[in-house]
Homo-oligomer: A and B are copies of this chain.
């Protein structure tokens, strides 16, 4: 294999010829610049330079093979260059954010002190890089919908039943026929390696240990094969969250690949076809620049500064090749023609579309507004679930209904189940957990939820999931407080 010096690579910095170094290998990315989902500028910033630190946490290991023709894999750095590069990485002055993270990691509390899911979020937000926090926690526009997803649960109160035998209480259920110890699954969420070097594999192993099911994101930071390989047992079910590629052939290949890898269901995501406006994420470079500048605001240098804001953020580009022209008539039959896997529609946001999904024969639907990350003022999923229960209870007979968004407590889960949901998904909670404590964090969160769900069921007088019924929940006309201080 050919070798290069740092100086040679440094010649290629433009759209005319752009090379980058990743893990001491040299790549010619000139042709790919304008196909890059994050746009060419993100790459050009590293043109002629080492891009390893920025590249690794947000790309699966097979990304270069998939996207770059073999002849663009030019070779490696020579040994001296490798040493110089290593030295320069070692000598790099730490940023203020890196220093903060280093300090936070020293003070990370023992896992036993994480008493509930919000605790986990708090720990993770302290030890994650700012970029990771912003990407994980950001939501659409003013994050109102993200917050409302959670607040909405507050408007549902219980009618607990007493004098029922509940010493034996079974929290298990099935999801698409697969057994789960609790009515909870890990929802597909992107870029787990941004938070922890083992990334999605932490989720896979934690799911196995606690008997729950993981849904893998199209935008996972490990390859689909790596995640499948991380399973503890070949029987461990995995679901796949699919963004359909605009190109049918590319999309078909992806579906056949994941079916081949043993994934058990497709969660076709229909609520994130165009990039959301995640302002916390968009502002990351402004924040980090100011942080380095001692908090002094960056001044406008000249009139040439004026112009468009870069709005893609860490992951806005991830949806850039999504098919924004799917229809019930065209897309579902096409899916059926290429796979035998059950199809669940993720991102149902109104009663009418829940009905249409049933009519289209989908095996399940996820009531979801993408965790508040897409359209601001999309109804909170628990409110939509309630409307389906009121207006079209037949939906629950015809398909499995899941919800995600805003779930933090066992009571949230139990409310959804009383109203007719078969299971609920949590995304961020598990991402935060694996970021803070790896696999042990994932197990810890699952166990917290298991305990809270069991307690909720017992307190309602229910011995099994099937005894959770709509009469146990009342939607009240006031908004309770959140997390009261005593």
Contacts and interface: CB of A to CB of B under 8 A. Distances in A.
Contacts of A375: 158, 160, 411, 455-456, 459-460
Contact of A110 (B306, B474, B483): B306
A74 to B, nearest CB: 34
Contact of A163 (B151, B155, B331, B474): B331
A411 B374 CA distance: 12
A379 B159 contact: yes
A162 B353 contact: yes
B160 A349 contact: yes
B276 A109 contact: no
A325 B377 contact: no
Interface in A354-413: 356, 369, 374-379, 383, 409, 411
A286 interface: yes
A181 to B, nearest CB: 16
Given A306-B437, A309-B115, A324-B166, A352 B159 contact: yes
Interface in A289-344: 296-301, 303, 305-311, 324-328, 331
Contact of A307 (B112, B347, B353): B112
Contacts of A482: 142, 144
A485 B146 CA distance: 10
B455 A352 contact: no
A58 interface: no
Contacts of A154: 144, 377
Given A147-B484, A274-B458, A279-B116, A107 B353 contact: no
Contacts of A311: 115, 451
Contacts of A485: 143
Interface in A8-61: none
**How big is the A interface, by class?**
35 or more
A196 B306 CA distance: 17
A486 B437 contact: no
Contact of A148 (B109, B148, B301, B481): B481
Contacts of A296: 107
Nearest to A308: B112
A225 interface: no
B484 A409 contact: no
Nearest to A296: B107
Contacts of A166: 273-274, 324-325
Interface stretch (A94-102, A133-141, A248-256): A133-141
Nearest to A106: B299
B459 A374 contact: yes
B163 A353 contact: yes
A262 to B, nearest CB: 28
A148 B480 contact: yes
A423 interface: no
A310 B112 CA distance: 8
Nearest to A322: B167
A84 interface: no
Contacts of A192: none
Given A279-B116, A376-B409, A378-B158, A165 B325 contact: yes
* Best-buried of A142, A377, A452 by chain B (most CB within 10 Å): A377
Contacts of A325: 165-167
B349 A481 contact: no
Nearest to A126: B297
22 contacts: A109-B298, A110-B306, A112-B307, A144-B154, A144-B480, A159-B351, A159-B352, A160-B349, A160-B350, A160-B369, A160-B375, A161-B353, A162-B348, A163-B328, A163-B356, A165-B325, A167-B246, A273-B458, A308-B447, A375-B455, A378-B459, A379-B474
Interface of A: 106-116, 137-139, 141-144, 146-148, 151, 154-167, 246, 270-271, 273-274, 276-277, 279-280, 282-283, 286, 296-301, 303, 305-311, 324-328, 331, 345, 347-353, 356, 369, 374-379, 383, 409, 411, 415, 437, 440, 444, 447, 451-452, 455-456, 458-460, 471, 474, 476-486
